[in-house]
Protein backbone atom coordinates (compact mmCIF):
# COMPACT_ATOMS: atom_id res chain seq x y z
CA UNK A 1 0.00 0.00 0.00
CA UNK A 2 1.51 3.40 -0.95
CA UNK A 3 2.36 5.85 1.82
CA UNK A 4 1.52 9.48 1.16
CA UNK A 5 3.00 12.45 2.87
CA UNK A 6 0.68 15.21 4.10
CA UNK A 7 1.78 17.22 1.07
CA UNK A 8 0.90 14.39 -1.35
CA UNK A 9 -2.52 13.97 0.26
CA UNK A 10 -3.22 17.72 0.10
CA UNK A 11 -2.22 17.76 -3.58
CA UNK A 12 -4.46 14.78 -4.32
CA UNK A 13 -7.46 16.24 -2.49
CA UNK A 14 -6.98 19.69 -4.03
CA UNK A 15 -6.57 18.65 -7.65
CA UNK A 16 -8.70 20.58 -10.12
CA UNK A 17 -10.20 22.89 -7.50
CA UNK A 18 -8.55 26.06 -8.82
CA UNK A 19 -9.90 25.46 -12.33
CA UNK A 20 -13.41 24.76 -11.04
CA UNK A 21 -13.31 27.84 -8.78
CA UNK A 22 -12.40 30.01 -11.78
CA UNK A 23 -15.36 28.62 -13.74
CA UNK A 24 -17.72 29.07 -10.78
CA UNK A 25 -16.81 32.75 -10.46
CA UNK A 26 -18.68 33.51 -13.70
CA UNK A 27 -21.95 31.98 -12.52
CA UNK A 28 -23.77 33.64 -9.62
CA UNK A 29 -26.72 31.24 -9.37
CA UNK A 30 -27.38 29.67 -5.94
CA UNK A 31 -26.14 26.29 -7.23
CA UNK A 32 -22.79 27.74 -8.34
CA UNK A 33 -22.32 29.53 -5.01
CA UNK A 34 -22.97 26.24 -3.23
CA UNK A 35 -20.47 24.49 -5.52
CA UNK A 36 -17.88 27.18 -4.72
CA UNK A 37 -18.43 26.57 -1.02
CA UNK A 38 -17.96 22.82 -1.57
CA UNK A 39 -14.66 23.57 -3.32
CA UNK A 40 -13.54 25.89 -0.52
CA UNK A 41 -14.28 23.21 2.10
CA UNK A 42 -12.38 20.54 0.14
CA UNK A 43 -9.39 22.86 -0.19
CA UNK A 44 -9.43 23.81 3.51
CA UNK A 45 -9.78 20.17 4.61
CA UNK A 46 -6.76 19.28 2.49
CA UNK A 47 -4.77 22.21 3.88
CA UNK A 48 -5.46 20.98 7.43
CA UNK A 49 -4.45 17.41 6.57
CA UNK A 50 -7.94 16.08 7.27
CA UNK A 51 -9.73 13.51 5.11
CA UNK A 52 -13.04 14.34 3.43
CA UNK A 53 -15.57 11.97 1.89
CA UNK A 54 -17.67 14.02 -0.49
CA UNK A 55 -20.35 12.82 -2.85
CA UNK A 56 -20.74 14.19 -6.34
CA UNK A 57 -23.15 17.10 -6.69
CA UNK A 58 -23.72 16.02 -10.30
CA UNK A 59 -24.85 12.50 -9.35
CA UNK A 60 -27.11 13.02 -6.35
CA UNK A 61 -29.30 10.07 -7.31
CA UNK A 62 -26.39 7.68 -6.70
CA UNK A 63 -26.18 8.69 -3.03
CA UNK A 64 -28.41 7.53 -0.17
CA UNK A 65 -31.35 9.88 0.45
CA UNK A 66 -30.46 12.49 3.07
CA UNK A 67 -26.73 11.69 3.14
CA UNK A 68 -24.67 14.72 4.26
CA UNK A 69 -22.52 16.43 1.64
CA UNK A 70 -19.34 15.81 3.64
CA UNK A 71 -18.05 13.28 6.14
CA UNK A 72 -14.73 14.66 7.40
CA UNK A 73 -12.25 12.67 9.49
CA UNK A 74 -10.17 14.83 11.83
CA UNK A 75 -7.58 14.13 14.54
CA UNK A 76 -8.83 13.27 17.92
CA UNK A 77 -10.51 10.93 16.73
CA UNK A 78 -12.99 13.30 15.23
CA UNK A 79 -15.79 13.38 12.73
CA UNK A 80 -17.56 16.34 11.14
CA UNK A 81 -20.77 15.80 9.19
CA UNK A 82 -21.71 18.73 6.95
CA UNK A 83 -24.69 19.65 4.85
CA UNK A 84 -23.80 22.61 2.62
CA UNK A 85 -26.61 24.95 1.61
CA UNK A 86 -26.88 28.22 -0.25
CA UNK A 87 -28.04 31.27 1.71
CA UNK A 88 -31.71 30.36 1.19
CA UNK A 89 -31.36 26.62 0.66
CA UNK A 90 -33.53 24.31 2.75
CA UNK A 91 -32.92 20.74 3.80
CA UNK A 92 -35.08 18.03 2.25
CA UNK A 93 -37.38 15.88 4.40
CA UNK A 94 -34.87 13.03 3.99
CA UNK A 95 -32.03 15.25 5.23
CA UNK A 96 -34.07 16.35 8.24
CA UNK A 97 -34.95 12.74 9.08
CA UNK A 98 -31.33 11.61 8.81
CA UNK A 99 -30.19 14.57 10.98
CA UNK A 100 -32.76 13.60 13.61
CA UNK A 101 -31.59 9.98 13.66
CA UNK A 102 -27.93 11.06 13.78
CA UNK A 103 -28.73 13.31 16.77
CA UNK A 104 -30.24 10.30 18.60
CA UNK A 105 -26.94 8.49 18.03
CA UNK A 106 -24.95 11.43 19.43
CA UNK A 107 -23.87 13.05 16.14
CA UNK A 108 -24.62 16.47 14.70
CA UNK A 109 -25.00 17.23 11.00
CA UNK A 110 -23.90 20.85 10.70
CA UNK A 111 -25.56 23.08 8.09
CA UNK A 112 -22.92 25.32 6.52
CA UNK A 113 -23.87 28.32 4.37
CA UNK A 114 -20.66 30.39 4.25
CA UNK A 115 -16.89 29.99 4.32
CA UNK A 116 -16.83 31.87 7.62
CA UNK A 117 -19.27 29.35 9.20
CA UNK A 118 -17.05 26.46 8.12
CA UNK A 119 -13.87 28.12 9.43
CA UNK A 120 -15.55 28.83 12.78
CA UNK A 121 -16.77 25.22 13.05
CA UNK A 122 -13.32 23.90 12.11
CA UNK A 123 -11.65 26.08 14.75
CA UNK A 124 -14.13 25.00 17.45
CA UNK A 125 -13.71 21.35 16.44
CA UNK A 126 -9.90 21.63 16.57
CA UNK A 127 -10.06 23.18 20.04
CA UNK A 128 -12.35 20.40 21.29
CA UNK A 129 -10.09 17.75 19.70
CA UNK A 130 -7.03 19.27 21.38
CA UNK A 131 -8.80 19.13 24.75
CA UNK A 132 -9.74 15.47 24.23
CA UNK A 133 -6.15 14.59 23.28
CA UNK A 134 -4.74 16.35 26.37
CA UNK A 135 -7.04 14.45 28.71
CA UNK A 136 -6.14 11.00 27.37
CA UNK A 137 -3.77 9.24 29.84
Task: Walk me through the domains of the chain, giving residue ranges and CATH numbers.
Answer: 6-57+64-135 (3.40.1350.10)
CB distance 39 to 17 below 8 Å: yes
Predicted model pTM: 0.71
State the number of CA atoms in the 13 A half-sphere of 79 facing the CB. 9
In eight-state DSSP terms, residue 60 is G
Q: Where are the beta strands (DSSP E) in the chain?
A: 51-54, 70-74, 78-84, 109-112
Mean per-residue pLDDT for 19-44? Answer: 68
Say yes or no to pLDDT of 28 above 60.
Answer: no
Nearest to 38 by CA among 83, 8, 93, 88: 83
Say yes or no to pLDDT of 8 above 70.
Answer: no
Amino acid sequence: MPRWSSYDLAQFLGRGIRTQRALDSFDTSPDSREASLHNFILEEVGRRGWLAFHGSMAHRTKRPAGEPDFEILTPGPGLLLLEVKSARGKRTPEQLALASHARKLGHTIHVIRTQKEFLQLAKTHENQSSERLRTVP
